[in-house]
Amino acid sequence: MSKIIHYSALCKTVHGQLLLDIDSLEIHEQACVALSGRNGAGKSTLMRIIAGLEVPDSVTVIFDGQAMPWRRACQRMRTHVIYLHQNPYLFDRSVTDNIAYGLRHQKLSIKDISRKVAEALDWAGISHLQMRNARELSGGERQRVAFARARILSPRVLLLDEPMTNMDSEAREQTYRMIKRLKDDGVSILLATHEFHTVAHLCDTHLSLESGSLRPRSIDSAGGERKIIPCG
Amino acid sequence: MDSLSASTAESFRLLFSGDAALWVIIFTSFSVSVRAILIAAPLAFVVAFLMAHLRYRGRRTMIAGFSALQSIPAVVVGLTVYLVFSRSGPLGDLQLLFTHSSMIIGQILLSFPLLVALSHAAFQAADRRVWETSVTLGAKPYHAFMTLLHEIRFGLIAALLAGFGRIIAEVGCSMMVGGNILGYTRNIPTAIALETTKGEFAQAIALGMVLLALALLLNGLLAFFQGRGEMSS
């Protein structure tokens, strides 16, 4: 698997305290990485930095083997990386308009946009909701709209910030299936969670964020944690 | 009492018979105030957005400043514009005094702080995820800004209505910089003031009814949009 992005010497201070001090973080093609850590460990902040939504104090970024300054890396990340909030925000408009949102900022014909949106609606199993206002949907349905809206843009990296929080078992299963299908489509996934065991079966790698540092952990075939592998 | 009844009856006749002089005054009021609000609002929204989203030195002072400027008396704004555009003033050569342009400038200055303060509150209350979601889905800053405007549109409409309400009914500034010229710069509030001093109550009452109806309409719309804004956040 080739490397998409490599961050090194990533530091971020929040309210005068060092929140992130990461030596190295690599995101590979078609990999599904679980990022665990207790609440407040900095998982969301790290993901937002990776998505280019938050500026780190210092970082070195290598994108597709090319070292680049933060500002340029940010532009690349916004093209190839999509971040989904813990509770994805859906715009106050129809499901179709929400899913088409990203495509409307690309130079595509209305016909192409309609075709892609129809495919995305079908992929997420929400064709019957297409004319509904996205704000009126249930939690599980909103999650499916958010996934379809991200997938339609064919991102190389998808950052999922605790996507299963506050979900019932049925919605959770649906989300698992969508993550699996995205992975099968070749999208690299970084999945933040504070309950690693719930997503272990989806992930190839497990990183734990502790005291600002990333520690690799191994995962056994049953999906449970086995041991901590020392850094370096 | 008879005189008041007669004046009221005459005011209804003026309103509903399409009295040209009366409707020119009403048209002038709306024309000037609508243009003022359309010029002031876009700039006010951008300033409010920058105040809500950027962190810079003096930001709090700026917010407090705009809040304080909301209560500046209309006559003080009128006096300032008058001094600037009077013959001996720094922009006297433009000869804008006693024209629609000077009235519009005065009303822009009056409504701007209110528009900034109210739209700033709407931007501050906006969900941070709106901007982030737009950006992560590939929107350029301009498009993300337009999306944000759409998401908080009820709050912004409420700001627009409040700003419009402030300038459509102000008398001090319009009187000083417009000059109350019949058929040109005479608007509803200045006409009411003048007709009342002349003892010609019919036209004053008719115009007062227009203002009153407008005030009720604006307040109704304001309550409606503020309610919608709360629900959408």
Closest residue, chain A, to B152 (C-alpha): A92
Residue A142 within any structural domain of the chain: no
- pLDDT(A227) > 80: no
pLDDT bin (cut points 50, 70, 90) of residue A221 is very low
- pLDDT(A228) > 70: no
DSSP secondary structure letter of residue A94: B
User: What integer pLDDT is reported at residue B230 of this predicted model?
Assistant: 54
Burial A36-46 (b: 16+ CB within 10 A, else e): bbeeebbbbbb
User: What integer pLDDT is reported at residue B119 of this predicted model?
Assistant: 97
Mean pLDDT for chain A?
Answer: 89
B191 or B218: which leads in pLDDT:
B191
DSSP secondary structure letter of residue A19: E
Range A52-61 average pLDDT: 94
Any A CB within 8 A of B198 CB: no
Tokens (6 digits) for A47: 């993901």
Q: How far apart are CA B140 and CA B127, in angstroms?
A: 18
User: What integer pLDDT is reported at residue A220 of this predicted model?
Assistant: 63
Measure CB to CB from residue A105 to each of B133, B143, B151 and give the nearest one. B143
User: What integer pLDDT is reported at residue B219 of this predicted model?
Assistant: 84
Range A118-130 average pLDDT: 95
Beta strands in B74-174 (DSSP E): none
Look at residues A20, A41, A232 and name the one whose alpha carbon lies nearest to residue A10. Answer: A20
Residue A129 within any structural domain of the chain: no
Q: Residue for token digits 């514009």? A: B81
User: What integer pLDDT is reported at residue B12 of this predicted model?
Assistant: 87
A147 or A165: which leads in pLDDT:
A147
Choose, out of B55, B128, B129, B136, the residue to mutate when testing the contact with A (most A CBs < 10 Å): B136
Of the CATH numbers 3.40.1550.10, 3.90.1150.10, 1.10.240.10, 1.10.3720.10, which one belongs to the domain with range B27-188? 1.10.3720.10
Q: What would the pLDDT profile of B105-145 be if each residue is shown by its tens digit?
A: 999 999 999 999 999 999 999 999 999 999 999 999 999 99
Measure CB to CB from residue A91 to each of B132, B140, B147 and give the nearest one. B147
Measure CB to CB from residue A105 to each of B129, B130, B138 and give the nearest one. B138
- pLDDT(A5) > 90: yes
- pLDDT(B233) > 60: no
- pLDDT(A225) > 50: no
Sign of the torsion angle spanned by Cα atoms A61, A63, A69, A72:
negative
User: What integer pLDDT is reported at residue B37 of this predicted model?
Assistant: 97
| ipTM score for this prediction | 0.89
pLDDT bin (cut points 50, 70, 90) of residue A230 is very low
pLDDT cut 70: percent of chain B above it: 96
User: What integer pLDDT is reported at residue A223 of this predicted model?
Assistant: 46
Look at residues B30, B20, B31 and name the one whose alpha carbon lies nearest to residue B183. Answer: B20
Residue A125 within any structural domain of the chain: no
pLDDT bin (cut points 50, 70, 90) of residue A23 is very high
B53 CB neighbours in chain A (<8 A) are: none
Range A72-83 average pLDDT: 92
- Partner-chain contact B137 A105, CB within 8 Å: yes
User: What integer pLDDT is reported at residue B229 of this predicted model?
Assistant: 59
Choose, out of A53, A86, A160, the residue to mutate when testing the contact with B (most B CBs < 10 Å): A53
Distant-in-sequence contacts of B145-151, Cβ < 8 A, 24+ apart: B145/B49, B147/A91, B147/A101, B148/B49, B148/B123, B149/B45, B150/A91, B150/A92, B150/A93, B151/A91, B151/A92, B151/B126, B151/B127, B151/B232
Domain range enclosing A55: 3-88+156-228
User: What integer pLDDT is reported at residue B114 of this predicted model?
Assistant: 97
Look at residues B106, B119, B148, B107 and name the one whose alpha carbon lies nearest to residue B131. Answer: B148
Q: What are the sequence ranges of the domains in chain B?
A: 27-188
Range B157-162 average pLDDT: 92
pLDDT bin (cut points 50, 70, 90) of residue B5 is confident
Residue A43 within any structural domain of the chain: yes
User: What integer pLDDT is reported at residue B228 of this predicted model?
Assistant: 66
Domain count, chain A: 1
3-class DSSP state of A68:
strand
pLDDT cut 70: percent of chain A above it: 94
Residue B113 burial class via C-beta count within 10 angstroms: exposed 0-12, middle 13-18, buried 19 and up: buried
The angle, 0 to 180 degrees and rounded to 10, between the axes of the packed helices B141-151 and B153-168 is 70
- Partner-chain contact A53 B129, CB within 8 Å: no
Q: How far apart are CA B156 and CA B182, in angstroms?
A: 35
Residue A136 within any structural domain of the chain: no
- pLDDT(B67) > 90: yes
How many beta-carbon pairs under 8 angstroms link A with B?
53
pTM over 0.90: no
**Which CATH number is A64's domain given?**
3.40.50.300
